[in-house]
Amino acid sequence: MNKTALITGASSGIGLELARIHAGKGGDLVLVARRGDELDRIANELSERHSVNVDVLSADLTSNHGVEQVMSFLSEKGIDVHYLFNNAGVGGYGYFHERDLEKELNMIRLNIQSLVELTHRILPSMIKRGSGKILNTSSTAGFIPGPLQANYYATKAFVNSFSNALDQEVRRHGITVTSLCPGPVKTGFEDAAGMVGSGLFKNAATAHSTAMKGYKAMEKGRLEVITDGPLKFAIKGLFPFTPMRLVLKSVEKLQKIK
C-alpha cells in the first residue's frame, strides 16, 4: 500500500507543490484546505497523472471543530497517515494595535493551535507503527522578532521551538520532525497578508523549489532547513552578534510597503 501524506493548506503554494512531489513519488494523499472546488481539481490532476489515491476535505482549521473534522474523515475512510505536512498558515501586515483582534487570534489558531492539535492526534498511530515523518512549514521569521508582523513572526518562533523539541522526543520511536523555514516565497502570501509592495518579496523563491528542499530535508530526517542562503547566513552568522534594537529597526524598514 502506498504511504499516505496528509497535507493542510494544500490548495495552493507550498502545500500544493508538496502534494505534487509526494504524488510524483507514488504516494497517496489526503488534501485539506478551505477551497473544496480547488481541491477537487487538484485531486483529479494528481490521480490521473500519477495513478495515486487522493482524498480531499474542505475544512476550516481556524474553527474549534476543524481538526476533529479531519480526524473523523480519516477514521471513516480507514486512512493511516505516514507523512504529516502541517503547512496551513496565514500572516497579517500592520501595527499590532491597529489590526483586527479576531484576525490575530485566527492566525494563532491556524498557525499554532491546529498544528499542535493535529500533530497530537496523529502521533499515537505513528508511534504504534514505529515510523512516520512530520514536516512543519515554518519560516525564517521564526528566528527573529518582526515589527509590522509581530504576531506572525511569534507564531513561527513557536513552530520552530515546538518542532525541534518534538523531534527529540519522538526520534526514538522511528519518527522525525522537520521544520521548513523559507524566506519570502511567491505563493500569494503577500497578497493575503496585505504586503504587496513590501521589499521582502522582491526576490522571492518559487513555491516548488521551496517545497522540494523541504521534502528532501524531511526524507533525510533533518531537524530544520533554511531554504534562503543569504537569510541563513544573516540568521546564523550575523543576527546573534547584532544589537537587537538594530535588528528590529532593520526588519521594520525592510517590511514597510513603499
CA distance 43 to 183: 28
Cα 146–chain centre separation: 18
Active site residues: 152
Please check whether residue 56 is in contact with residue 36, taking contact to mean a CB–CB distance below 8 angstroms.
Answer: yes
Look at phi and psi of residue 30 and say left if phi exceeds 0, alpha if psi is from -120 to 50, else beta: beta
Rg over alpha carbons for the chain, rounded to the nearest Å, is 18
Rounded to 5 degrees, what angle do the CA atoms 1, 5, 161 make? 140
CA distance 41 to 37: 6
CA distance 186 to 210: 10
